[in-house]
């Protein structure tokens, strides 16, 4: 399967613990995105990488959240000192940038990591 892969699929953690999620994008895609989705809501943008550079972070991304994309390949999202409000589905997506124009290609999404903080 050459789609976007996320691990783990499910994570249950105690409040105050740190968690890390991994995303493996489609291999030739240079853009990688993290989103958060809560029940009954649309995905909310968290952060975005072009190759290894983190180009934008949402205000939703508090100091407890950090994302990396070393060497422009896979990415990790770490949440420190988890809170119950962090419980959500964390989605990763990747896309291929166009060299010209202002339009954007489509993003391909992984199945997500469901985080439950107890």
Residue 70's SS3 state is helix
Pick the closer one to another protein by CB: 42 or 85.
Answer: 42
- Identify whether the C-beta of residue 89 lies closer than 8 Å to the C-beta of residue 37: yes
By the rule CB under 8 A, 105 interacts with another protein:
yes
Pick the closer one to another protein by CB: 45 or 80.
Answer: 45
- Identify whether the C-beta of residue 5 lies closer than 8 Å to the C-beta of residue 110: yes
Best CA proximity match to 19, nearest among 7, 4, 31: 7
CB of 81 to another protein, least distance (A): 27
Binding site for another protein (CB under 8 A): 31, 33, 35, 40-45, 48, 50, 55-56, 91, 93, 95, 97, 101-112
């Amino acid at each position: 399967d050459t789609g976007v892969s996320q691990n783990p699929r499910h994570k249950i953690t105690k409040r105050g613990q740190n968690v890390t999620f991994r995303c493996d994008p489609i291999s030739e895609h240079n853009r990688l995105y993290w989103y958060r989705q809560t029940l009954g809501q649309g995905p909310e943008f968290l952060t975005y990488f072009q190759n290894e550079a983190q180009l934008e972070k949402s205000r939703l991304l508090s100091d407890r959240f950090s994302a990396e994309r070393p060497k422009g390949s896979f990415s990790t999202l770490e949440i420190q000192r988890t809170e119950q409000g962090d419980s959500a589905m964390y989605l990763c997506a990747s896309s291929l940038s166009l060299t010209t124009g202002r339009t954007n290609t489509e993003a391909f999404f992984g199945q997500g990591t469901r985080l439950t903080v107890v």
